[in-house]
Amino acid sequence: MSTAMNFGTKSFKPRPPDKGAFPLDHFGECSAFRERFMECLRDSGYESSACRQRAMAYLECRMDRQ
């Protein structure tokens, strides 16, 4: 019964993800979408809400290609 109340013995230590854990666009399949998004950001003074549609298009491209 005393083991159920022993919360402090294990502590979680976060660590960064392993190298390569996030999928990268190695083949440049979505680079055109990314460039359009970055151009929009530069033109809007880095106001991301103005470029929401381009961001969604870029993320869709990334998800479609896993």
pLDDT value, residue 23:
61
Spans of all domains in the chain: 30-65
pLDDT at 39 over 90: yes
Task: State pLDDT tens for residues 19-34.
Answer: 655 566 777 888 899 8
3-state secondary structure 2-66: HHHHCCCCCCCCCCCCCCCCCCCCCCCCCHHHHHHHHHHHHHCCCCHHHHHHHHHHHHHHHHHCC
Amino acid residing at 63: M
